[in-house]
Homo-oligomer: A and B are copies of this chain.
C-alpha cells in the first residue's frame, strides 16, 4: 500500500527518467518491504526553481552563487 511522493526541481526531467524513477522506487519497496507493486503509487512533482528554497535562497539565486 505504499505511497511515494518525489519532489525535484523542474529542469527537463524526461518521460524516460520519470519511468525509471517510478520503476526503481516501486522495485525498492517490493524488495525491502515485500510491498505489492500493484498497490504502490508514486507521484513526481516538478517544482519551479523560483519556488524551491535552499540555504535561505531560491534555487535560482543559489545557482547564480548569490550574493
Contact = CB atoms under 8 A, between A and B. Distances in A.
A56 B28 contact: no
A15 B58 contact: yes
Number of copies of this chain that the complex holds: 6
Given A21-B32, A32-B17, A46-B51, A1 B59 contact: yes
A2 B10 CA distance: 11
13 contacts: A1-B52, A3-B7, A7-B43, A8-B35, A17-B33, A18-B51, A18-B53, A18-B58, A19-B50, A40-B54, A42-B53, A44-B51, A44-B53
Interface of A: 1-9, 13, 15, 17-29, 32-33, 35, 37-47, 50-61
